[in-house]
Structure formats: C-alpha cells, structure tokens
Structure 1
Amino acid sequence: MANRKETGRRGSGRSLGRRPEAGTAAWRETLPVELNGIYEADVIGLSHEGEGVGRVEGYTLFIHGALPGERVRVRVSELKKQYGRADLLRVLEASPDRIAPACPIYERCGGCQLQHMSYDAQLHWKRQMVVDQLERIGKLRVAAADGEEQGVVVHPTLGMQDAWRYRNKVQVPIGEQEGGLVGGFYMRESHTIVEMEQCLLQHEASDATVGRVKAIARELGVTGYDPVRHEGLLRHVVVKHAAATGETMVVLVLNGDTLPREAEWVARLREAVPGLVSLCLNVNPERTSQVFGETTRVLWGREVLYDAIGTTRFAISARSFYQVNPVQTEALYATALRYAGLTGRESVVDAYCGIGTISLFLAPHAREVYGVELVPEAVDDARANAELNGIRNVRFACGKAEEVLPAWREQGGACDVVVVDPPRKGCDSRLLETIHALRPPRVVYVSCNPATLARDLRVLEDGGYRTVEVQPVDMFPWTAHVECVIGLQRIET
C-alpha cells in the first residue's frame, strides 16, 4: 500500500512523497512516523498497563505484546503529539523473558496482558513499577537493593507457587454474534466478546458452570445482551466459587426482571453444578457498563455462600466484595497484620472495611477494631460475619470514614493503628486529613493502584508520617496489576 514503508534499518522515516491529508494537524508533519506506516522499534520498557514502550527516532510507541530489550516490527495505529500506539507484527530480536502464552485465545482476549512474559520477569517488573511510581509521583527515596542507601524498603514481589487457576470469581459478559449466544471476555480495547470455553485463571468449577449456563440459555432460547441496541435478556453470568468450602453461587444478570422458564433453570443448574448452594437473579435494566443492578433476588438456595481466610469464615452475598485470590489474600493480610504491630492492646480503625475481611482478620490480635464502610449491605455482611465467627471486639459503622471518624473521636474513640484499603482511585483527601487529625502511631495502607498509592503516601509523609516498607503482592498473575501493603510510622512529636 502507498501509505506504508518498511525498512530494515533503525529509525525508519516517514513515507517519502506523501502529502499530509486535508485537515491533518501540522504537528504530524514533524513526526518520524505516520499512521498505518510500518517501522522497526526498539522496546525500552513496559507501561503501567503492560504495553511495550517502543522508540522510533525518539518517538514513543506503546506496543501490546512487546517486551523490554526487544526489536520489533510494528504498524502504527494511533498518533498523538507526544506518543502513539502500534500493533505488533513481528518480533525481530526476542527478549529472554519471552514465553509462549498458555491460553489459546490470549492474542484476542483482553483479560490478561502478560502471558507472553515469564513469571519471574513479571514479579521483577511489578516491583520496579511500584518503585518507579513511589519515586516519580510520591517523591520518595527508595532504598537500594544492596542496603547501602537509606530510604523506603520495597521488598521483592510475593509470587505464587502455582500461578494458574487462582480466581474464585468470574464475571462473563453474554452477547449475540451471528445470531447466536456467546459468552467470554471482551477483546482488548473493544466491546466485542471473544467466545471462551475455559479461562486458565479461573477455578475449573467456574469454567464448567459458565459453560453449563451458556448451554442452558441456548437450549431455552434466552437471548444475549446487545449494549448498542440495549436489547437481549442475559447480560452477565457471575460465578463465585469458595476455595475453602467448595460451595458455588451463580448470579444471572438480566436486562429485565423475569427469567423465562425459571423453574427449569433451577432444576437444570442444580443437577449440573456440584456444590451449588445459591442461584440468584440480578436486575440491571440500565444503559451502563456496570455489571450489577440494584435489585437481587434468590431463585433457589441461600443468600450467601461461605468461604474462609485462615480460620476466619465469611458469608459472601451476590454483590459483596471479596478478594478473588484466596492464597495471596492470606499473604496480603498476614503482611498487614505484621505492619500493624499489634500486641493485643491496640485500638484499630479499618476504613473502607467492606464486609469486614481485614477487620476480622486483625481482631484476635487487637483490643478492639472499628470498621467503617459506605455501602449499607456490606456493613450488614460485616456484622453478620463477626457474629458468624463469634468475634465480639469489633464494631461497624455505615458512612464515609472522613465523616464518621471525627465524630467517633469526639466521643472519646482512641486510635493506635489505622488501616485503609481503598478502591483504585485511592483515599479521599478528607480521609487523609482525618488520619492526620487522629495521629495514630501506625498506618497500614493496602493498595491496588501504585499511582494513587504514591500520591497518598506523599500527603501522609507531608503530614508527619514516614513510609517504612512496602510489600508488593502478586494477586493477579499474568496481568499488569499488583497489590501492595505499606507500613507507615508517625515521626512527628
């Protein structure tokens, strides 16, 4: 094609003799690449989303599937002033960390980002990603690996002995393609569903259950959801499988409030799914990318399934948040317990407490734990879980932590340790102000986003805390995500 140029040398230039298209921004003329052009790029790193960071004559291209140290041939798919994106065509010089993906649909599915990278290399990169964010955004000095330089200690990432089949929950979008129902994960940067028979990150029981739900839906003539037309009935299949008990919950998310031939669905799934204890229907009639709607009802069985972290049992309802990797959750919470430094005499505040997982894990080692959560259903679950385990030294309050905790403090509440486990957007700024006002000697921060973590640590450091150590935990192998536990101490007198 006339608008492509391929060269065998480094830093190939733009196609010669090609005039800018009408309306093209003038800055494009200064770039060393053009849209749809084919070039060779040197890959110098990975982005926080796991894309290769390539360079062509100094211009940055983000390349899905490329690894640091590689030389690759790419086709430019998007251009901006400072960077662009490109599709990987061929690896010319491969990294020693490159491996063959185990999943047969990895190249099309958007669920994983790093199956082409060895597991040891993933663990190393995830630690370095945390270090980079702490230094760049948090302006923190990280201690050298040899221990000669003072600073924040960032430990090697805690990995898994078996990094497959670790997820206890799967949410599978259901749609229609060529007149038939399909279910799988979305293609990368798309809402096109890639039909999936199995996912190597999910428990085998979840795979089998999703397959059976799809088969029943086809047999009973249930239509998949079309988000463009906002038509079709079955939007998602959600399966929760408890590793400790073997129990399974199935949630059918509908674009409507009625499941045709409901009794037949119940009978077929009870027969087909070993360990099934709950079949729920969730109603989501909105034009939204959110999985769940506001209304959930039980079609058969219990409202909850039971699982355990260590010796602590949890009742988990259809919409409850619960960590998806049970093996690494124990490692995560054990680290939080160690950083909390509990002796049995401390009063602990657990902000963003959810269904009480961290609160109840810490309670046997503290004098008392006070959990705060915004979602009323989660607070109800937390209280039920405390009762389930016979734990009496915990209390839970519903509301925003930045509003609840000042009032609690005015009523005489003491605080020796604050634990925060916020969503990806990090802590609310008012909560950080509240922590400064409470002045606990220790803060434990559990994070799923190194960027917002680094931002919040900077605020806490400026308010009199010192970040002591960071433990990255690989909760999501083969993806670009990493969880961290951080221990902070108050240094201001």
Structure 2
Amino acid sequence: MSNKIMTDKQTGEKHCRCFKRCGGCQLDEPYKDQLERKQQKADRMLSKFAPVNRILPMEKPYNYRCKVQNIYGLDRSKRIISGVYQSSGQKIVAVDDCFLEDERAAPIVRSVKKLMKDMRIPPYDIRSGRGILRHTLIRTSRSTGQVMLVLVTAGAMLPAKNNLVKAMRAAHPEITTIVQNICPDGMPLTLGERDIVLFGKGYIEDELCGCRFRISPASFYQVNPLQTEKLYSCAVEAAGISEGVRVIDAYCGTGTIGIICAKNGAEVTGVELNKSACRDAHKNAELNGLENIKFCNDDAGKFMQAMASKGEGCDVLIMDPPRAGASREFIGCAGRLAPQKIVYVSCKIETLERDLKAFRREGYKVTYIQPVDMFPHTMGIETVCLLERNGEKNEAH
C-alpha cells in the first residue's frame, strides 16, 4: 500500500495520508507552526531558569532519519508487507515510504520484500514463533555516502544468503556493507548480540563537526546528523572548550561529543556504562588520531563520586542522558565534584525541567538555553543548557 505522500506545490510542505495510522509523526501542520509550537513549550517550561533562545530550525525538514527500521509480516492475502510495529496493538502498519527517512531506505526495503518472496524467506511471526526475518535496520551517511543493511533473523539460518547478498548488491550498489544479526528472542525491533558480516566491513563511517565516527549495527548515533552538527556546536561553544580544559563526558555513548571536545584541545574523560558503546568510543578516538581522550566503562555517578573523594576535579561536565534524564544520585555526585560549568544536552524537555531544579539546589545557575529542532514533525525538542556554579547549595528551592 502506498502512503501517497502529497506535496503542496506552492509551499513545498509535505503531507502523508498515513499520519493518523502510523504514529511516526505527531505534528501535521506547516513547519513554521511546528517551530512556534515548540518554542512556546520551551519558553513555558524553561524561561523561569534563563531566557530561551529561538529554536534552531532545519532548513529542509524532511528525509533526515539516518536510521530506518522496518518490520515484516503477511497481510490477509499472505503477501509480504513491511512497515511500522505498533506495540499497543501488536500489529504492523504497512508503510511503503516515509518523508522522515533517508530516501535511500524505501527502495532497499522494497527489494528485500521482493527477494523474500522469490527466495521463500518467511517473515517472523511473534505470535507463533515461526519464520526467519524479524526486521531490517538501514543506516546511512550523507557525508560519506555509505549505507548499511542489517538483516535481523530469529536464528542463524538464512536461506540462499549468498544469492540474497548478490542480488541486493546488484540492485543497490550504494550499499557498502550487509550484516546478519541473530536475535533468537526479545521484543520486535531489538538486536541480538551476534553479528555475521555478509559483505563489507560490518560498519559504516560518518563525519560530524570535523570528526569521523564508526557506526556498527548496535551503535547509538543521533538520527539527524545535520541538526546534530548544530546541537554539538552549541554544546562545545557553551562549554568554552579550549586547549587544556579538563572535561568529563558523562553518558558518553560512542564518544561523539567528547571526541569533538578533544579535537578542540580539551583533556577528556568519557564515562559510559554500556560495554559495546565504550568499545566503539575507543575505536572512534583511534579513528580520529586522538591521544587526549580516554574512556571508562563505569557508572558515571559512581565514577564522579570516586573522583571527588580523591580530591580530583574537572573544569567542565558534559552530560547527555537518556530520555529519563539524570538520577538524583548522579546530580548529587555532580554537585560534589563541583565543576565550574555543566553542559546539559537533553532529549526530553520534561525531565530537563525537573533536573534543572535539582541542579539549582546544588548551587548552579542556568545561563544559556538553546533549543534545537532535531525531530521535525514530532513533539521532540532537543536542548542545550549551560549551568555555572554560583555559590553554596540551596535546599530551600
């Protein structure tokens, strides 16, 4: 079924007839109205801490997602379909195209469906536990042109895999690597721990803020690199990064922000609890030839508490926590470490508001707030905040 994405010839605005059924977008209104809606929300929730800058828009707010996942199934006529998995109803919403996704993804998905039919590769049925292909993951890079296709299967068996790879390469020479990921159990759209590289290096590379990053199937990487450049540039500028500045990059993931800081001369320690992400961070530092950054596989709060107990410190703490925000323990540890500046990169404004109140009690004042529209057509707002130490803790707030 075609989505029938429509484009207004006068304004260039796009509309998708799958809007209400899919759930991938939450906003179906002109882009300028989306930006105003988000600006008002940011002002309402954050202006009590400091003036809120105008949200940084995306020049062309379409086809920005560099990570695309599609689940596969059968319709009532036993035809193979692909689309979005809705956990609430445990069903697939058939989607053939999406104006949020990199334009290279949809043709690859169509080829996968055709080859599944030709080579008799059945989609996996979560209810019966039968079938082979769970979903596909496509990662792309605009800066390097590289494309990764990940075939997520329920077991190691993948019929005619050599012919499948050969056919996909012939149909899509832009694909630079193909990986089979084996996920024997788990929820839809999850990855297993075992990868089998079927073609290429098993990863792609992307360039961001003058640095190069390796992206493997399970790597965390921002889905909108164009806006990520703006986001990270704001974070580095707010931190006042220069030669010799001591930085802790908490929740560092694959090391992106920390590596950009190190590239600008800072002495960086990245802390990440996820072992796989920490391994990727080490590789990314090597890829950029940096010796002024190191990574520790540890809980960030415990790591900072240990530093403070030894009398060690840092000039800047950079934190980019998950949507749940920072824990009370983490904020308390940050207060004991007492860096002069904290740069908070937030992907959920509700938890950011809560955490800024907690940091205020630790003796920090917000001096800079910059929203960035990372996810056009959704309600998401990414925000960079600078907090500066301004005195003693205040338990009264």
- Structure 2 length-normalised TM: 0.91
Q: 2:242, 2:146 → 1: CA distance?
A: 35
Partner of 2:35: 123
Partner of 2:5: none
Q: 4+ runs of 1 displaced by more than 4 Å?
A: 409-412
1:382-414 per-position Cα deviation (integer Å, ceiling 9, x unaligned): 111111111111010101111222334455643
Higher relative contact order structure (alpha carbons within 8 Å, sequence separation ≥ 6): 2
Please state if 1:109 is matched with 2:26. no
1:429-473 per-position Cα deviation (integer Å, ceiling 9, x unaligned): 221111001100100011111111111111111110011221111
Within-5 A mapping of 1:464-475: 464-475=363-374
Q: Give the gaps of 5 or more residues in structure 1.
A: 1-98, 135-140, 143-150
Partner of 1:406: 305
- Equivalent of 1:175, from 66, 69, 73? 73
Question: What is the CA-CA distance between 1:376 and the residue it aligns to?
Answer: 1.1
Q: 2:138, 2:189 → 1: CA distance?
A: 16
Partner of 1:228: 127
Superposed CA RMSD in Å reads 2.0
Equivalent position SS for 2:242: coil
- Equivalent of 1:191, from 90, 98, 115? 90
Equivalent position SS for 1:280: strand
Q: Give the gaps of 5 or more residues in structure 2.
A: 1-11, 393-397
Q: Which moved more, 1:174-183 or 1:480-489?
A: 174-183
Q: 1:273, 1:393 → 2: CA distance?
A: 40
1:307-354 per-position Cα deviation (integer Å, ceiling 9, x unaligned): 100210011111001111111000000110111012323100000111
Q: 2:180, 2:92 → 1: CA distance?
A: 22
Q: Which moved more, 1:161-170 or 1:206-215?
A: 206-215
Conserved? CA contact 2:246–2:266, under 8 Å:
yes
Please state if 1:162 is matched with 2:75. no
Q: 2:193, 2:41 → 1: CA distance?
A: 37
Partner of 1:270: 169
Within-5 A mapping of 1:313-328: 313-328=212-227
Conserved? CA contact 1:110–1:188, under 8 Å:
no
Partner of 2:269: 370
Please state if 1:132 is matched with 2:30. no
Please state if 1:334 is matched with 2:233. yes
The letter for the 2-side match of 1:351 is A
Partner of 2:344: 445
Equivalent position SS for 1:459: helix
Conserved? CA contact 1:108–1:187, under 8 Å:
no
Q: 1:468, 1:310 → 2: CA distance?
A: 24
Q: 2:337, 2:39 → 1: CA distance?
A: 31
Q: 1:389, 1:409 → 2: CA distance?
A: 30
Question: What is the CA-CA distance between 1:290 and the residue it aligns to?
Answer: 4.9
- Structure 1 length-normalised TM: 0.74
Conserved? CA contact 1:123–1:156, under 8 Å:
no
The letter for the 1-side match of 2:123 is G
Q: 1:235, 1:375 → 2: CA distance?
A: 24
Question: What is the CA-CA distance between 1:188 and the residue it aligns to?
Answer: 9.0
**CA 1:191–1:284: 2 relative to 1, 3 Å:** same
Partner of 2:50: 152
Q: 2:114, 2:361 → 1: CA distance?
A: 57
**CA 1:133–1:230: 2 relative to 1, 3 Å:** farther
Conserved? CA contact 1:172–1:184, under 8 Å:
yes
Conserved? CA contact 2:308–2:336, under 8 Å:
no
1:59-104 per-position Cα deviation (integer Å, ceiling 9, x unaligned): xxxxxxxxxxxxxxxxxxxxxxxxxxxxxxxxxxxxxxxx985223
**CA 1:488–1:366: 2 relative to 1, 3 Å:** farther
Q: 2:89, 2:371 → 1: CA distance?
A: 30
Conserved? CA contact 1:353–1:359, under 8 Å:
yes
Conserved? CA contact 2:85–2:93, under 8 Å:
yes
1:96-144 per-position Cα deviation (integer Å, ceiling 9, x unaligned): xxx9852232232111111x2111111111122233334xxxxxx53xx
In the alignment of these two chains, the number of paired residues is: 381
Q: Which moved more, 1:408-417 or 1:310-319?
A: 408-417
Q: Which moved more, 1:412-421 or 1:370-379?
A: 412-421
The letter for the 2-side match of 1:388 is L
Conserved? CA contact 2:204–2:215, under 8 Å:
yes
- Equivalent of 1:381, from 280, 283, 287? 280
Question: What is the CA-CA distance between 1:194 and the residue it aligns to?
Answer: 2.3
Equivalent position SS for 1:256: coil
Partner of 1:243: 142
Conserved? CA contact 2:304–2:334, under 8 Å:
no
Conserved? CA contact 1:110–1:186, under 8 Å:
no
Equivalent position SS for 2:322: coil
Conserved? CA contact 2:133–2:153, under 8 Å:
yes
Equivalent position SS for 2:138: strand
Q: 1:194, 1:289 → 2: CA distance?
A: 14
Partner of 2:152: 253
Q: Which moved more, 1:252-261 or 1:104-113?
A: 104-113
Partner of 1:482: 381
Equivalent position SS for 1:274: coil
Partner of 2:181: 282
Equivalent position SS for 1:377: helix
**CA 1:158–1:228: 2 relative to 1, 3 Å:** same
Partner of 1:425: 324
Give the share of equivalent positions with the same residue, in percent: 38
